Amino acid sequence: MSAAAVSLLETVERRGRDGGERAAFDWRGRPLSWSELGRRVDATARRFAAQGVAAGDRVLLVIEEGDAFLPVFWGTLRIGAVAVPMLPRSGAGRLVDTAAWLGAVGIVADREPEARWEELRAGLPRSGPWLLDAHEAAAPPAGAPLPAEPSDDQVAFLQLTSGTTGAQKAVRIRHRDLRTNVEQMSAGFGITGEDVFLSWLPLHHDMGLILMSMVPLAHGCELHLLPPGMPSIRGWMVEAARCGATFTAAPDFAYRLCLRLSREHEGLDLRPLRVALDAAEPVRASTVEEFERTFGIGTVITPAYGLAEATVGVSTWPPGTPIRVDARGHVAVGAGFPGVRLRIEGDAGPLAAGQVDEVKVASPSLAGGYWGEPEPGADDRWLATGDLGYLDSDGNLYVVGRSKEVINLAGLTLAPREIEETVDRLPFVRRSAAVGIDRGRLEGEQVFIFVELTRSASGASGDQSAAVVQAFHARLGMRPGRVCMVEPGTIPMTANGKVRYGELRRLYVDGELQRSGALVFPDA
């Protein structure tokens, strides 16, 4: 990338002016040229200007198609507004609630599914925010003027996450945070304009958006984007061989799925691949070893660690480094990217190598705190991650657990509180608790919802379980791994009324809920 003073927005705009018909990226195999990307970014910004969008205004982006999402995202930043990317499958109720929480002035969304669109229109207050079809965003009124470009310290977008308490949070990512972290990751991975990126990761989430679209766009790399989901994962390595990908990334479960499908992929030439990043959920040594052996590609899987509060990238290994695994099977996620410092801190202060406690991070790319909270006072601060780990004698990080209760589902973080508030609204529910459980299977961590019934409920049934699944799906656009109906008083609580998530997870995994008869549906 160019000098530090040049923002990513400026880089994208310059490439949009100068790049001509060369592809900025392709989506589902459909190329979008740099000139067309530049035109759509400018058009979106002018459309928003005509809508009265001002610097700092929040705009929710709920867009599935990458060739629609990226122009609207960059157009939002060009007007100086704050983009809020959201899970495209989010239900109308979730979108209305989020818009109210953030004081959003507008929502740009897919018109499909039509039922959600109509529910969204009906649910938004007459006073706003406005609702715009994603494909209409690049159709501006003529002559709408644009303001000066946003400053380095302005917020570019809000990354929705679970925060350190498990409650829904929105991380303020500034333009300088993006620029700095892209530079850090580019240096750590040795990115050049000759790299070929391939990604099916969701663009609404930090790893897919920043690492797998902003980094290659900043360098003018060849970039191939596929829609997120199982069909793309099935054809992921086939596409990598076809396009000669040198860089790709995914959570560990996706590599495990590729191994299941490996017989369908015999004979693929993956020799150009130099980095297959493995991050966003615990890395399994068995996955790394079997993947590299099965596809005959040498040392390409690169464990890494990141979090939204540090923009995204925190630590990794130099490409081509064999993995390190400790005696308990934990895989090291490397040392900090350039400019990133790591330490393990207990109640009495920093700890020596090998001692486990909370991981803390200092980096020039630490984000500007959470929406609705005061900005952190000092840039040279140490961020408490909520993850537990230790450093080895060489300064490499091993993440061994987490102290915060969030659920990692296929690389996404979900807040138990949002799930519980959704389920608790059902008339037969006395109390619910949501935990993430990884039973060592292919799919990795899944959402398990434990439900205590009210005394007036007629007894646990498949219909009640289905109602919980339906409520979860309507809110988040996905399904839980399992719904467990339990006897009243089963969910363990602290003295001040907080769920003891770790204890609930243990009771289920160890089989104590089943043996005691506290699990009433299903019976296994």
Domain containing 143 — which CATH number? 3.40.50.980
Please check whether residues 125 and 242 belong to one and the same domain.
no
Asked whether the beta carbons of 475 and 511 are under 8 A apart, the reply is no
Pairing assessment for the beta strands 482-486 and 446-453 based on DSSP bridges: parallel
Residue-averaged pLDDT of the chain: 91
Q: pLDDT class for 156, splitting at 50, 70, 90?
A: very high
Q: Considering the domain boundaries, does residue 262 fall inside one?
A: yes
Q: What is the pLDDT of residues 160-210, one digit of tens each?
A: 986 555 567 999 999 999 999 999 999 999 999 999 999 999 999 999 999
Does residue 429 sit in the same domain as residue 307?
A: no
With a pLDDT cut of 90, the percent of the chain lying above it is 72
What's the predicted TM-score (pTM) here? 0.85
Question: Domain for residue 232, yes or no?
Answer: yes
Number of domains in the chain: 3
Confidence of residue 159 (pLDDT cuts 50, 70, 90): very high
What mean pLDDT do residues 307-313 have?
96
Q: Which residue has the higher pLDDT, 3 or 262?
A: 262
pLDDT at 92 (0 to 100): 96
pLDDT tens sequence across 241-250: 999 999 999 9
What pLDDT band is residue 479 in, cutting at 50, 70 and 90? very high
**Best mean pLDDT range from 177-191, 448-462, 492-506:** 177-191
Average pLDDT of the residues in 250-263: 83
- What CATH number does residue 481 fall under? 3.30.300.30
Q: Are residues 19 and 76 in the same domain?
A: yes
Q: pLDDT at residue 2 above 50? A: no
Considering the domain architecture, whether residues 67 and 180 belong to the same structural domain is answered as: no
What CA–CA distance (Å, rounded) separates 474 from 267?
42
Domain match, 309 and 367 both: yes
Per-residue pLDDT reduced to its tens digit, 323-366: 999 998 899 999 999 999 999 999 889 999 999 999 999 999 99
* Alpha-carbon gap, residue 313 to 366, rounded angstroms: 10
Between CA 268 and CA 237 the distance in angstroms is: 8
Is 245 a domain residue? yes
Region 22-50: mean pLDDT is 95
Contact call for residues 210 and 312 (beta carbons, < 8 A): yes
Contacts 24+ apart (CB under 8 A), 350-355: 351/390, 353/390, 353/391, 353/392, 353/393, 354/390, 354/391, 354/392, 354/393, 355/390
Three-class SS of residue 175?
helix
Clarify whether residues 228 and 316 are in a common domain. Answer: yes
Residue in this structure with the two tokens 């007459």, named with its chain if needed = 126
Q: Are residues 289 and 348 in the same domain?
A: yes
pLDDT the model gives residue 453: 87
Query: Which of 88, 115, 150 is the last residue in one of the domains?
Result: 150
Residue 155 domain-assigned? no
165 within some domain: no
Model confidence at 52: pLDDT above 70: yes
42 Cβ contact list (under 8 Å, min separation 6)? 16, 75, 78, 146
Mean pLDDT over residues 451-476, rounded?
Answer: 87
Q: Which domain holds residue 433?
A: 415-521
57 falls within a domain: yes
pLDDT bracket for residue 1 (50, 70, 90) = very low
- Is residue 49 domain-shared with residue 182, that is, in the same domain? no
- Same-domain check for residues 445 and 388: no
pLDDT at residue 263 greater than cutoff 70: no
**What pLDDT, on a 0 to 100 scale, did the predictor assign at position 337?**
98
Q: Is 349 left (phi over 0), alpha (psi -120 to 50) or beta?
A: left
Are 281 and 251 in contact by the 8 Å Cβ rule? The answer is yes
Last residue of a domain, one of 116, 150, 184: 150
Residue 397 shares a structural domain with residue 419: no
Q: Residue 168: what pLDDT?
A: 78
Residue 70 has pLDDT above 80, yes or no: yes
Find the range with the poorest average confidence among 30-44, 109-123, 197-211, 431-445. Answer: 431-445
Same domain, 132 and 33: yes
Does 39 share its domain with 140?
yes
Confidence of residue 430 (pLDDT cuts 50, 70, 90): confident
Beta carbons within 8 Å of 13's beta carbon, 6+ residues apart: 38, 41, 78
